[in-house]
């Protein structure tokens, strides 16, 4: 059920004008805001927190649905105890800071790549 909710959220984000235009630069800013909020900051944009949370959760839900149909190098194997949205935001931020040359790519694509790198499947 959680995967379907995530997939529906991702589809909703992808068809909205702001999500289509959201690239790595926008996601990086939104997720950095989300991390600051998680760390106790009160003067943050709720829109940024919503964008980051929606994308990281939506992409994870999509992965759960489609994981078996992607090539082995892109499969994602999450920890058995799962992840929180703030953990996912931190993974995405870490990846984007380490790969600034990719910030022009779509936010959802960068999130997918970040998860595959953070949670690779054993071969």
Looking at residue 121, what DSSP letter applies?
Answer: P
Instruction: Decide if 26 contacts 74 (C-beta within 8 A).
Output: no
For residue 123, give the H/E element and its range.
Answer: none
* Domain limits, the chain: 2-118
More confident residue, 122 or 105: 105
Instruction: Give me the long-range contacts of 70-75 (CB less than 8 A, separation at least 24).
Output: 72/121, 72/123, 73/116, 74/112, 74/116, 75/116, 75/120, 75/121
Instruction: Report pLDDT for 72.
Output: 83
C-beta atoms surrounding 13 within 10 Å = 21
Assign 25 a pLDDT band (cuts: 50, 70, 90). Answer: very high
Q: What is the mean pLDDT of residues 33-50?
A: 95
Could you tell me the pTM of the whole model? 0.80
CATH number for the 2-118 domain, one of 1.10.890, 3.30.70, 1.10.3720, 3.40.50? Answer: 1.10.890
Looking at residue 43, what DSSP letter applies?
Answer: S
What would the pLDDT profile of 64-98 be if each residue is shown by its tens digit? 999 889 888 778 999 989 899 999 999 999 999 99
């Amino acid at each position: 059920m959680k995967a379907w909710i995530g997939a529906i959220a991702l589809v909703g984000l992808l068809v909205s004008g702001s999500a289509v235009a959201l690239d790595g630069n926008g996601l990086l800013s939104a997720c950095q805001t989300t991390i600051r909020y998680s760390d106790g900051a009160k003067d943050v944009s709720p829109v940024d927190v919503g964008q980051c949370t929606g994308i990281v959760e939506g992409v994870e839900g999509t992965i759960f649905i489609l994981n078996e149909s992607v090539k082995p190098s892109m499969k994602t194997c999450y920890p058995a105890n799962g992840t929180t949205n703030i953990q996912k935001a931190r993974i995405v931020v870490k990846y984007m800071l380490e790969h600034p040359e990719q910030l022009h790519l779509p936010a959802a694509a960068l999130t997918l790549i970040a998860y595959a790198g953070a949670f690779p499947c054993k071969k």
